[in-house]
Amino acid sequence: MSNALKVSLKISIPDIESIKGSMKRQYSELLSKSSDDMLADIRVMWSGWKYRPWRGLVRPGSLHNVSQAAWSKRIEDGSNENKDLIIISNHAIDWRAKYYAQKGKSELSAKYENRPYVSLVTRSGESKPEYMKVVDMLKSQNIPELKRKFAESFAEAFQNTPKVNRTPKPSATSGITIVS
What string of pLDDT tens digits covers the 180 residues of the chain?
455 556 666 665 666 777 777 788 888 889 999 999 999 999 999 988 887 787 887 877 777 778 888 899 998 877 766 678 888 998 888 878 888 888 899 998 898 888 888 888 888 888 899 999 999 999 999 999 999 998 888 888 777 666 665 555 555 554 455 554
Confidence (pLDDT) at 126: 86
Cα–Cα distance, 119 to 121 (Å, whole number): 6
Model confidence, pTM: 0.71
Residues above pLDDT 70, as percent of the chain: 77
Q: What is the pLDDT of residue 3?
A: 58
pLDDT at position 43 is 93
pLDDT score, position 82 = 60
- Residue 19 is predicted with a pLDDT of 74
Eight-class DSSP state of 52: -
pLDDT of residue 170: 54
Nearest CA-CA partner of 53 in 132, 107, 124: 124
Please give the Cα distance from 27 to 157 (Å, whole number): 11
The whole-number pLDDT of residue 180 equals 41
The vertex-158 CA angle with 156 and 159, nearest 5°, equals 65
pLDDT of residue 112: 85
| pLDDT score for 15 | 66
Give the number of residues written for the chain: 180
Q: How far is CA 40 from the centre of its chain?
A: 13
The predicted pLDDT at position 174 comes to 47
Residue of 56, 48, 47, 129 lying closest to 99 (CA atoms): 56
Using a 10 angstrom Cβ sphere, with 0-12 exposed, 13-18 middle and 19 or more buried, the burial of residue 143 is middle
